[in-house]
Amino acid sequence: MTDILEELAWRGLIAQSTDIDALRTALAEGPVTYYCGFDPTGPSLHHGHLVQLVLLRHLQLAGHHALALVGGATGLIGDPRMSGERTLNDRDTVAGWTDRLRAQISRFLDFDGPNAARMVNNLEWTAPLSAIDFLRDVGKHYRLGTMLAKDTVARRLASEEGISFTEFSYQILQGMDFLELNRRYGCTLQTGGNDQWGNLLSGAELIRKAEGRSVHVLTTPLITKADGTKFGKTEGGAVWLAPDMMSPYAFYQFWLNTDDADVVRYLKVFTFRTREEIAELERAVAERPQAREGQRVLATDVTALVHGADAAERVERASRALFGRDDLTELDAGTLGDAVAELPRGTARVGTDTVVDLVLAVGLVQGRSAARRTIAEGGLYLNNVKVTDEDHVLAPEDLLAGRWALLRRGRRTLGVIEAV
């Protein structure tokens, strides 16, 4: 097998490991069974989870055996936050979220063939466990001093709200997962974000005490922007992987808007492009930044990874069409609706309002004189067709999908009209 750790390090996917040399030896002698856990504390995974999913895929492609754990049990508790107690969600809600996360994860791993991944749910072994058995068989291996020293716990204890025993116990539950997977499947590697280092070590230490075996932990770094600020926030919040929480078009646009200073690093982390391909894209970004070749590859690849190749093709075509580089009339209503969702908008009456009225309704210019001047100078487009008649009245044939009309002033100033 190839040195997968060297590849992961080059891609910026390694932060800490319990013993990197021992792990390298184990992976070389492999295959190694590894896992990462995802808690259903919400209805969708987000950009932070995407790093873990990419890491799982890299390891599976290198020939190692993947376990994807959806925490039906730990999702009922929730990993303690730095401040404030979590609201406990009801069991039916968590069960529904568990199903949603399983469907999202299934896109990233191969669950068929000789090296098929396996999906597991920690509710399977946690729910039947009695409180007495939990305390005797698992709790006896934990020392209170170590648990209290964990950064999140220490910070919560020093705060006014403190921390409940429920959330305090989370690190034991997560540690128990690693122990159970080690016993059931011979799992010897757990991966996670660097903010999970303490929880991951909990499982490794539990296995050492309960089974007398050494296992491995590997974390990924927190992904940031080049200026050190947090990566992945939008005006609408997190970058969700569920299409009903963030449309594939909005998802594509998020990646397309990546800064030049970040794009090569994100290509390494979030795509499976080869070193040679990324080197060529790095040259393109440096020599032809206006072409945004790196951003287009990044947006297409990540959208295809999360939403599928067909969705990526649709939203890429929609992105081109909005700016006159493809045919708007060929877009399906759903993709078109997603594409215009964030644009400045106004309403107009078919058969009554003129293009000047449309321009004012959307707010592309201020005042009728400015609207007429824009048209006279050839700077206004209706559905990517240059407007030459300022008295043109909105007609049924001007409506895309029978509902919208796209206005563009110049090359990049867009607005959308919805017929009423």
* 335 is a domain residue: no
Q: Report pLDDT for 85.
A: 80
Residues 150 and 26 in one domain: yes
The candidate with the shortest Cα–Cα distance to 81, out of 158, 151, 20, is 151
Q: What is the pLDDT of residue 2?
A: 56
75 part of a folded domain: yes
Q: Write out the residue range of the structural domain in which residue 319 sits.
A: 233-327
- pTM score, two decimals? 0.88
Look at residue 237 and tell me if it is in a domain.
yes
- pLDDT of 244 above 70: yes
Residue 337 lies in a domain: no
Give the residue from 44, 101, 68 showing the smallest Cα distance to 243. Answer: 44
Residue appearing with tokens 């376990």: 67
Q: Is residue 134 domain-shared with residue 178, that is, in the same domain?
A: yes
**Does some domain include residue 332?**
no
In the prediction, which pLDDT does 132 show? 94
- Residues 191 and 158: beta-carbon distance below 8 Å: no
228 assigned to some structural domain: no
Which residue ranges make up the annotated binding site for ATP?
Answer: 233
Residue 369 belongs to some domain of the structure: yes
Of the listed ranges 66-70, 160-164, 376-380, the one predicted with least confidence: 160-164
Instruction: Please check whether residue 68 is in contact with residue 103, taking contact to mean a CB–CB distance below 8 angstroms.
Output: no
Annotated binding site: 35, 170, 174, 233
**Residue that finishes a domain, picked among 165, 199, 220:** 220
Residues comprising the binding site for L-tyrosine? 35, 170, 174
Among 158, 185, 220, the domain boundary falls at 220
pLDDT digits (tens, 9 = 90+) for 293-326: 999 999 999 999 999 999 999 999 888 888 877 7
Any idea what the CATH number is for the domain that residue 262 is in? 1.10.240.10
Same domain, 253 and 365: no
Domain endpoint, select from 220, 246, 277: 220
List pLDDT tens digits, range 250-291.
999 999 999 999 999 999 999 999 999 999 999 999 999 999
Mean pLDDT calculated for residue range 177-203: 94
Q: 258 and 318 share a domain?
A: yes
Same domain, 253 and 184: no
Does residue 52 sit in the same domain as residue 137?
yes
Tell me the CA distances in angstroms from 155 to 159, 221, 312, 390, one per residue in order. Answer: 6, 22, 43, 64
Domain containing 197 — which CATH number?
Answer: 3.40.50.620
Residue 333, domain member (yes or no): no
Residues 198 and 240 in one domain: no
- Cis check for the bond before 31: say yes or no (omega within 30 of 0): yes
Count of alpha carbons within 13 angstroms of residue 255, beta-carbon side: 34
267 and 280 Cβ atoms separated by less than 8 Å: no
| CATH number of the domain residue 381 falls in | 3.10.290.10
What is d(CA 208, CA 370) in angstroms, rounded to the nearest whole number?
75
Q: What is the pLDDT of residue 198?
A: 87
Q: How many domains does the chain have?
A: 3
